[in-house]
Amino acid sequence: MSFTNEPLLELRRAPVRAGLTDALIALALPWSVPVIVAGERRDAPTFTSTDPGAPTRVVAEVTAATEADVDAAVHAAARAAPAWEAKGAHARAAILSRAAGELRRRRPQLAALAVRECAKPWPEADADVCEAIDFLEYYAQRAIALESTDGLVQLPGERNTLRYAARGVVAVVGPWNFPLAIPAGMVAAGLATGNGVVLKPAEQSPACALALVEAFHAAGVPPAALNLLPGEGDVGAALVAHPGVHTIAFTGSGAVGLSILKTAAELQPGQRHLKRVVAEMGGKNCVIVDADADLDDAVPALVYSAFGFAGQKCSAAARALVHHRVKDTLLERLHGAVDQLLIDQAERFGVDVPPVIEPAARDRIHAFVQTARDQGARVHQPGTVPPHGHFVAPAVIDGLPVGSRVTEEEIFGPVLAVESVRSVDEACAIVGAQPFALTGGLFSRDPATVERVSRLLPVGNLYVNRHITGAMVARQPFGGNRLSGTGTKAGGPDYLLQFVEPRVVTEDTMRHGLVV
Amino acid sequence: MTIVAPPAAAPSSTPPEEARVRALGRQIAAGQAKAGRTRTRALEDRGMEWLARDPALRAALFRLVDVAPACENRRDLAAHLAALLGEAERPGTPIGFARRVSTRRAGGPAVGALADLVVHRMATRFIVGADPGDAVPKLEQLWREGAAASVDLLGEATVTAAEADRYARRCDEALRTLADAARTWPARPTLDVVPRVNLSVKVTALTAKVKPDAPELGIADARHRLRTLLRTAKRVGAHLHVDMESMDSRELITQLVIDLLGEPEFRDGPSAGIVLQAYLKDADEQLDQLLDGIAQPFTVRLVKGAYWEHETVEARQHGWAAPVYETKVESDRAFECLTRRLLQARPHVRVAIASHNVRSIAHALACAPDRDLELQVLRGLGDDLQQALTGMGLRVRTYCPVGDLVAGMSYLVRRLLENTSNDSFLVNRTRGADLDALLTKP
């Protein structure tokens, strides 16, 4: 079976751009996002999601799930799972592929929704939709491959079979920064392997989650096999703690991830299994620039990696570790490049830095920049921001003291720290000393350096001579090590193993001394 | 690789035009054969042909050329050479030996010096000078040999406004310097029908805001810089030619040129032009847009297109239909159709045919018995061709890059890769491919 990624829109063609603008105009807001348990909708709005670029624009009126909803959803998923699993991988894959078709049919609308709800600029919003489609198609294929896996040694007189059974109920706790792709991927992995799923989307992006759930249901996923629980942190916490949950698939902050791991480790009354956690958490991603780097490539790649989508990707570049011989040149060009960035609403084509997700994020990022100033660092933050929306102007910072919060903690915003290193090996030591190990970058034109750094760095995804974001399903399986995650690779060939339990059956085929 | 012989042309499929094309093609080829060629040049050509046969070594050497200017010293260069050759190494090749020598303490600097020398030699073959003033003697020599020039200022990529300003300033100075120098050159009636000084400019170097999905940002940002250059060109009587690059900037460049040439002050000059890339599947629509959008006479340089790999790989990685033809023969065919269209659009369009493919040139000449067209070749690669064409009394312009070695590297690598590909007309000629086969209608 061959897999190809869903083609991105060719936005360099004017009619394609016009199609998206039309979709944005046609998008009727606000949406109403209910709690959906076993196909039953409970619609009694308690909170809203708003446009980060225009906070008065309500994108969705949302019903937060209650503890009763959580309990009902887990039970519904548990009841639906056996029949769903019994359909077999081929049938489930066909349904997931049909769901991918549903998303494909609605591509412009879904991208427009991500523009409004999460302030994703068009190219990133479109890529998010494509990645969601990719996850569905890819995991559908992988589930079929998993079902036909048979690697056991067979001797005469016995028959050994290995089967991967669904673990039961998967709780998906999703992020807002890839509001379609990441929840879609985690849900699809659970469903493809025959689990029942309960989705708790980020409170910032419930409308995107509803669009996904509707696509799965329209494609034939049994209503009870996928349930939607909008809400804030308390809903996620209740879901994770529920004794009926078997697997927790989480993408989000390190603090929440650690608390999930802790909760999952505690046996609840009535719980008869160990919970498994698949967690994708933060990073503090470094890009190493060696003296022989092509700065014509390195500067734009750094700018895009650090400031694209306002730095709100777990893969984004946070630190540039630059060989001292090229540091001044690089910094000068970097400053000049940042001067050219367009800070504006996500819906404007060509925007580099859209608003960040919410006021709290803006304030947190501002506080980091202030810390840098207080610590005597040089802050280059030239941009002016539009009057409305949660904007933060991109900042390049150098001259930070060793151990500064700004170089140690994840900021999740458009801030890049630049540090001088004496050698690539010193840079590798800095990366190696970090608690995070998600993505990394290297600019070098020496194959020996590339080889050495590839072996030294603990990061899950290393990008050489290119930007460090935008992993593609099946081509760049994505996920981090150390405190960045549980080491699983979304969009990779072995990801589905997290959602199943292996069962081996050994049958004696001898009867009365004869092999029958 | 299977080599399929082209089908023998049936007599009925050889209209009179084809006979003229072949006759002209043979005449050009004979002129090329007579062109003086130094021993080192012949060696270099053979070397390039050899490189075309060994993709791994070719990749290693081009990557060396690419990194050379960033190396701190010769030992550093030698270390890069060793690592790059290590990647290209296979059993039974001389590469292993070269790699071992370059890693030795004593051998390193020596090999580095040799690599340095090779890189410089290769660069000076293609680049006429470090700056326009430095290039003037060579340009004058070209002129005396019967060829005009189009000067292209090489530089680093533009990522900041300061870099865009610096490039614009260099272009402006180049126009003035070259105009001053060219005034004293002797009359050349064949060449003097258009301005002597011809500068090729890159719009992507005039703005740091090149965004495929927002051409209007780049247009707004580059507009004042290109306008200043048009004014200078008009004042000094030079021709300003806007180069075309990849698809990512095509809409920006096309619209910017149409906009500016529509401004009242440029209706009566300067002489200006743009590029049409025959490998683009929608080149015809592109030409329509130019013919509709530009009222005054303007020059179109027809090229096959130099970003084929970039376009193909980018399309493949994004899942797009490639905007370029996938086979050489389709590009060659499109080139001839566009040649005819351009020639028919005279005098609204002044035609420049930029190709090293003798068949394409002969075809253009056969379509224009009045010889009212310009033929353009690349410095360093089309030197034989230049001599052959000037020898036939044709209007020839040689595209001459100017700049320092660091800036010249990406240009150099692009040109080398292009001309050591197996599809290259030059490589096929060096290999002694049958001339008649190469002159066959695509």
Whether B107 and B204 map to the same domain: the answer is no
Question: Which uninterrupted H or E stretch holds A188?
Answer: helix A181-192
Same domain, B145 and B224: yes
Query: What's the pLDDT score for residue B11?
Result: 45
What kind and span of H or E run contains A462?
A: strand A461-464
Between residues 68 and 127 of chain A, which touch chain B (CB distance below 8 Å)? Answer: 122-123
pLDDT at B346: 97
CB contact under 8 A, A7 and B318: yes
Bridge partners for A27 per DSSP? none
Instruction: Give the confidence band of B124 by pLDDT, cuts at 50, 70, 90.
Output: confident
Q: Residue B121 corresponds to which amino acid?
A: R
Least confident residue range of B43-47, B246-250, B273-277: B43-47
Q: Using the predicted structure, report yes or no on whether residue B9 has a pLDDT greater than 50.
A: no
**Of A314, A347, A419, A428, which residue is the catalytic one?**
A314
One domain, residues B267 and B383: yes
Residues A213 and A322 in one domain: no
Q: What is the pLDDT of residue A316?
A: 98
For chain B, give the secondary structure using H, E and C. CCCCCCCCCCHHHCCHHHHHHHHHHHHHHHHHHHCCCCHHHHHHHHHHHHHHHCHHHHHHHHHHHHHHHHCCCHHHHHHHHHHHHHHHCCCCCCHHHHHHHHHCCCHHHHHHHHHHHHHHHHHHHHCCECCHHHHHHHHHHHHHCCEEEEEEECCCCCCCHHHHHHHHHHHHHHHHHHHHHHCCCCCCCCCCCCCCCEEEECHHHCCCCCCCCCHHHHHHHHHHHHHHHHHHHHHHCCEEEECCCCHHHHHHHHHHHHHHHCCHHHCCCCEEEEEEECCECCHHHHHHHHHHHCCCCEEEEEECCCCHHHHHHHHHHHCCCCCECCCHHHHHHHHHHHHHHHHHCCCCEEEEEECCCHHHHHHHHHHCCCCCCEEEEECCCCHHHHHHHHHCCCEEEEEEEECCHHHHHHHHHHHHHHHCCCCCHHHHHHCCCCHHHHCCCC
B87–chain A Cβ distance below 8 A for any pair: yes
Q: Evaluate whether residue B48 is within a structural domain.
A: no
Residue B20 lies in a domain: no
Q: pLDDT value at position B68?
A: 79
> According to DSSP H, which parts of A233-318 are helical?
233-241, 254-265, 295-307
Residues of A in contact with B159 (CB under 8 A): 296, 299-300, 303, 333, 336-337, 340
Q: Do residues B80 and B61 make contact, with C-beta atoms less than 8 angstroms apart?
A: no
Q: Would residue B29 count as lying in a domain? A: no
A171: closest CA among A212, A226, A122?
A226
**Domain termination residue (choose one: B89, B105, B123):** B123
Contact flag B213-A122 (C-beta cutoff 8 Å): yes
Q: From the CB of residue B248, how many other CB atoms can be counted at a distance below 10 Å?
A: 18
Same domain, B219 and B270: yes
Q: For residue B179, what are the contacts with CB-CB under 8 A and spacing of at least 6?
A: B196, B197, B236, B237, B238
B251 touches A at CB < 8 Å: yes
Averaged pLDDT for residues B381-406: 92
Q: What domain range is A459 assigned to? A: 285-464
B19 burial (CB, 10 Å; 0-12 / 13-18 / 19+) is: exposed
- Residues B175, B111 within the same domain: no
- DSSP letters spanning A25-51: HH----EEE-EEETTEEE----EEEEE
The residue among A134, A137, A348, A445 with the most chain B CBs within 10 A of its CB, best to mutate, is A445
Residue B104 is assigned to a structural domain of this protein:
yes
Q: Please name the amino acid found at residue A360.
A: A
Query: Are both A242 and A307 inside the same structural domain?
Result: no
Please, which residues 241-260 of chain A have a Cβ atom closer than 8 Å to chain B? none
Q: Tell me how many domains chain B contains.
A: 2
Q: Is the peptide bond before B270 cis (omega within 30 degrees of 0)?
A: yes
Contact A109, A22 (CB under 8 A): no
CB A132 within 8 A of CB A215: no
A260 contacts A173 by C-beta, under 8 angstroms: yes
When pLDDT is cut at 50, 70 and 90, the band that residue B406 belongs to is low
Report the C-alpha gap between A65 and A46 in whole angstroms.
Answer: 9
Map A305-367 to HEC letters.
Answer: HHHHHHHCCCCCEEEEEEEHHHHHHHHHHHHHHHHCCCECCCCCCCCCECCCCCHHHHHHHHH
Do A493 and A414 lie in one domain? The reply is no
Contact between B172 and B230 under an 8 Å Cβ cutoff? The reply is no
pLDDT, mean over chain A? 97
Question: What angle do the packed helices A67-86 and A233-241 form, to 10 degrees?
Answer: 50
Beta strands across the sheet bearing A247-251? A40-42, A35-37, A226-228, A196-200, A169-173, A247-251, A276-280
* Residue A95 tokens, joined: 């349904």
Q: Would the pLDDT of B427 be above 90?
A: no
Does residue A149 form part of some domain?
A: yes
- CATH assignment of the domain containing A118: 3.40.605.10
Same domain, B107 and B132: no
Please indicate if any CB of chain B lies within 8 Å of the CB of A8. Answer: yes
Same domain, yes or no, for A94 and A174?
yes
A54: β partners = A51
CA distance A386 to A343: 8
Q: Domain of A450: which CATH number?
A: 3.40.309.10
In angstroms, the Cα distances linking B214 to A213, A386, A469, A480, B256 are 33, 19, 21, 34, 13
Q: Which residue is catalytic, options A280, A347, A410, A419? A: A280
- Asked if residues B132 and B151 have their Cβ atoms less than 8 Å apart, the reply is yes
* Residue B266 exposure: Cα atoms within 13 Å on the Cβ side: 25
Q: Smallest Cβ distance to B71: which of A292, A296, A337?
A: A292
Quick check: is A8 in a domain?
no
Asked whether residue B312 is assigned to any structural domain, the reply reads yes
Clarify whether residues A209 and A303 are in a common domain.
no
pLDDT for A236-290, tens place per residue?
999 999 999 999 999 999 999 999 999 999 999 999 999 999 999 999 999 999 9
* Domain end position, chosen among B123, B146, B180: B123
For tokens 């224009």, the residue is B368
On whether residue B5 sits in a domain, the answer given is no
Residues A296 and A219 in one domain: no
Query: In this structure, are A355 and A257 located in the same domain?
Result: no
Nearest CB to B319; choose among A5, A297, A448: A5
Considering the domain architecture, whether residues A253 and A343 belong to the same structural domain is answered as no
User: In this structure, are A36 and A59 located in the same domain?
Assistant: yes
Q: What is the pLDDT of residue A269?
A: 94
Q: What is the pLDDT of residue B226?
A: 98
Among residues B194, B198, B243, which one has the least CA distance to residue B395?
A: B194
DSSP code of residue A404: -
Cα within 13 Å of Cα(B393), Cβ side:
4
| Whether residues B337 and B423 fall in one domain | yes
Task: Please indicate whether residue A280 is annotated as part of the active site.
Answer: yes
A445 with A342, same domain: the answer is: yes
Q: Within 10 Å of residue B413's Cβ, how many Cβ atoms? A: 17
The dihedral through the CA atoms of A435, A310, A466, A333 has a sign that is negative
Nearest CA-CA distance, residue A305 and chain B, Å: 15
CA distance A446 to chain B (A): 6
Range of B245's domain? 128-438
Q: Quick one: what percent of chain B has pLDDT higher than 90?
A: 63
Is the residue at A312 inside a domain?
A: yes
A260's tokens: 């999930």
**Which chain B positions have a beta carbon within 8 Å of A445's beta carbon?**
63, 66-67, 70, 80
Q: What's the rounded Cα separation, in Å, for the pair B65 and B410?
A: 9
Are A246 and A273 in contact by the 8 Å Cβ rule? The answer is yes
Test the B interface: residue of A340, A424, A451 with most B CBs within 10 Å: A340
8 Å CB contact of B80 and A292: yes
Residues of A in contact with B63 (CB under 8 A): 445
Q: Which residue of A has its CA nearest to B71?
A: A292
Tell me, yes or no, whether B19 lies in a domain.
Answer: no
Contact residues, A window 429-448, toward B, CB-based 8 Å cutoff = 445-448
Q: Is A314 a catalytic residue?
A: yes
Q: Are B217 and B311 within one domain?
A: yes
- Tell me the per-residue pLDDT of A371-380, one tens digit each, with 9 for 90 and over: 999 999 999 9
Structure tokens at B336: 């001839």
| pLDDT greater than 80 at residue B320 | yes
- A334, part of any domain: yes
Instruction: Looking at the structure, tell me whether residues A93 and A195 fall in a common domain.
Output: yes
The ipTM (two decimal places) reads 0.94
Do B88 and B135 lie in one domain? The reply is no
Identify the closest residue of chain B to A335 by CA–CA distance.
B160
Answer yes or no: is A302 within a domain. Answer: yes
d(CA B160, CA B164): 6
Which residues in chain B have Cβ-Cβ distances shorter than 8 Å to A296? 156-157, 159, 410
Q: Which residues contact A41 (CB under 8 A, 6 or more apart)?
A: A34, A35
Q: What's the length of chain B?
A: 442
Report B:204-243 residues touching A (Cβ under 8 A): 208-209, 211-214, 216-217
Q: CATH number, domain at B259?
A: 3.20.20.220
Q: Are residues A270 and A328 in the same domain?
A: no
Q: How far is B283 from chain A (nearest CA, A)?
A: 15
pLDDT of residue B108: 61
CB B79 within 8 A of CB B85: no
Whether B272 and B410 map to the same domain: the answer is yes
A1 belongs to a structural domain = no
Q: Which of B123, B150, B179 is the last residue of a domain?
A: B123
Residue A454 pLDDT > 60, yes or no?
A: yes
Structure confidence at residue B437 (pLDDT): 85
Separation CA A497–CA B238 (nearest Å) = 68
Most A CBs within 10 A among B213, B225, B286, hence the mutation to make, goes to B213
Mutation choice for A interface testing from B77, B159, B412 by most A CBs within 10 A: B159
Nearest to A351 by CA among A18, A53, A110: A53
Name the domain count of chain A: 2
**Residue that wins the pLDDT comparison between B38 and A356:** A356
Same domain flag for B99 and B141 = no
Please tell me if residue B117 touches chain A, with a CB cutoff of 8 Å. Answer: no
Per-residue model confidence as pLDDT tens digits over B353-368:
999 999 999 999 999 9
pLDDT at B419: 67
Looking at the structure, tell me whether residues B255 and B159 fall in a common domain: yes
Tell how strand A436-437 and strand B374-378 pair up. Answer: unpaired
Those residues whose C-beta lies under 8 Å from the C-beta of residue A387, and which sit 6 or more positions away, are none
3-state secondary structure string, A409-442? CCCCCCEEEEEEECCHHHHHHHHHCCCEECEEEE
Task: Give a yes or no: residue A206 inside a domain.
Answer: yes
- Provide the pairing of β-strand A158-166 with A169-173: unpaired
- Whether B92 has a pLDDT exceeding 60, the answer reads no
Residue with tokens 């151990």: A403
Q: Which of A221, A137, A217 is nearest to A185 (CA)?
A: A137
- Residue A473 maps to a domain: no
Within-domain flag for B251: yes
Tokens of B95: 């590469």
pLDDT for B164-198, tens place per residue? 999 999 999 999 999 999 999 999 999 999 999 99
